[in-house]
């Protein structure tokens, strides 16, 4: 009996090791001297490690975050570790479209170029609050904010071409659907379902953005970072958090940053603009993630 248990344990361990070795790693050596990058939600988790990596590559990084105290602490930590003093914090509340517009106005006024925009910030919590714009908080933060921000900064991205837009999505999009009435009525969906819907919106937005910017020097990709142990789960019940953070197949935040970095840095992937990436390679989406009619309609909602 003990032998069978041990054999079973070794098999499971082997599967876990093989699975972890299949995770993608960004191998790009690209230097970003003279380049400007905006990263939303990068004071902790995946976004922090993206910012840290790009700081080592000499990029000018604009940290677009809501919490000033946490963002400034993260900024100082990145500067201390990398020696790169070109790290700037700009405050923005992604649940407020007015705040997004004000942030974009500051960027356009103060920055001469924008080479990479990484729409990383996201929330997963399930509350019943509407924003000041009449949108559910999760839809406002996860979809409408990056949609609006990208469009407001599109001229700057195009004038800085070749440039890139990275939208952080999730494999959770595969259980999502776009129901336009749910964007303004939190009672029609539970939070987990709404999260999946917003991640599907990210995939569709990326595809339509690629279509609209074709030939203009802007490449865009949606990314599944992996199932990661990050603060994304901070609004979930404590029991759920405890189970998730102990799941043996979860990536660390640093591991979760790899596919984002791959899409931001790798040369020769411009021809895949609009595609969905997982583990540093193009991955399949749900059929709904390829519905260009819905993608076009989604563009007209805001």
Domain encompassing residue 83: 30-299
Cβ-based burial of 301 (10 A; exposed 0-12, middle 13-18, buried ≥19) = middle
Structural domain contains residue 3: no
**Contact assessment for residue 86 and residue 112, using Cβ atoms and an 8 Å cutoff:** no
pLDDT 10s digits, 17-49: 444 445 689 999 999 999 999 999 999 999 999
- pTM summary value: 0.87
Structural domain contains residue 19: no
- Domain with residue 67: its CATH number is 3.40.50.720
Count of CB atoms situated within 10 Å of the CB of 216: 13
Report which of 11, 66, 35, 239 is spatially closest to residue 156, judged by C-alpha positions. 35
Structural domain contains residue 118: yes
> What value does the mean pLDDT take over residues 135-145?
93
Q: Select which of 195, 247, 276, 277 is catalytic.
A: 195
Tokens 């990068």 sit at which residue?
Answer: 42
Structural domain contains residue 111: yes
Sheet holding 163-168, edge to edge: 87-91, 60-65, 36-40, 116-119, 163-168, 218-224, 276-278, 281-283
The number of domains in the chain is 1
* The two three-digit tokens of residue 211, written as one number: 């279509």
Higher pLDDT, 292 or 5: 292
Q: Is the dihedral of CA 28, 215, 199, 277 positive or negative?
A: negative
**Contact assessment for residue 23 and residue 258, using Cβ atoms and an 8 Å cutoff:** yes
Structural domain contains residue 16: no
pLDDT at 186 over 90: no
pLDDT 10s digits, 223-278: 999 875 554 554 455 555 555 555 556 788 999 999 999 999 999 999 999 999 99
Tokens 């999946």 sit at which residue?
Answer: 196
Structural domain contains residue 14: no
Q: Is 49 one of the annotated active-site residues of the chain? A: no
Structural domain contains residue 20: no
Structural domain contains residue 56: yes
């Amino acid at each position: 009996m003990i032998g069978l248990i041990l054999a079973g344990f070794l098999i499971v361990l082997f599967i876990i090791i093989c699975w972890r070795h299949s995770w993608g790693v960004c191998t790009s050596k690209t230097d970003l001297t003279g380049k400007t990058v905006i990263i939303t939600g990068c004071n902790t988790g995946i976004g922090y490690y993206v910012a840290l990596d790009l700081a080592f590559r000499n990029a000018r990084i604009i940290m677009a975050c809501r919490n000033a105290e946490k963002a400034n602490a993260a900024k100082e930590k990145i500067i201390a570790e990398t020696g790169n003093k070109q790290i700037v914090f700009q405050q923005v509340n992604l649940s407020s479209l007015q705040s997004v517009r004000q942030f974009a106005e500051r960027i356009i006024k103060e920055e001469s170029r924008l080479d990479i925009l990484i729409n990383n910030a996201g929330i997963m919590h399930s509350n019943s609050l509407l924003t000041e714009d009449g949108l559910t908080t999760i839809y406002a933060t996860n979809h409408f904010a990056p949609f609006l921000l990208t469009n407001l900064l599109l001229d700057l991205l195009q004038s800085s071409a070749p440039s890139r837009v990275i939208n952080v999505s999730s494999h959770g999009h595969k259980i999502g659907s776009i129901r336009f009435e749910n964007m303004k009525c939190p009672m029609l969906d539970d939070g987990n379902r709404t999260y999946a819907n917003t991640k599907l919106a990210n995939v569709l937005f990326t595809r339509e953005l690629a279509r609209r910017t074709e030939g203009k020097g802007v490449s865009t990709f949606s990314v599944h970072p992996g199932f990661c142990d990050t603060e994304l789960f901070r609004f979930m019940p404590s029991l759920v958090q405890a189970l998730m953070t102990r799941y043996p197949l979860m990536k660390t935040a640093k591991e979760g940053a790899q596919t984002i970095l791959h899409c931001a840095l790798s040369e020769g992937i411009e021809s895949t603009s609009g595609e969905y990436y997982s583990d540093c390679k193009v991955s399949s989406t749900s059929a709904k993630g390829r519905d260009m009619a819905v993608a076009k309609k989604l563009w007209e909602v805001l």
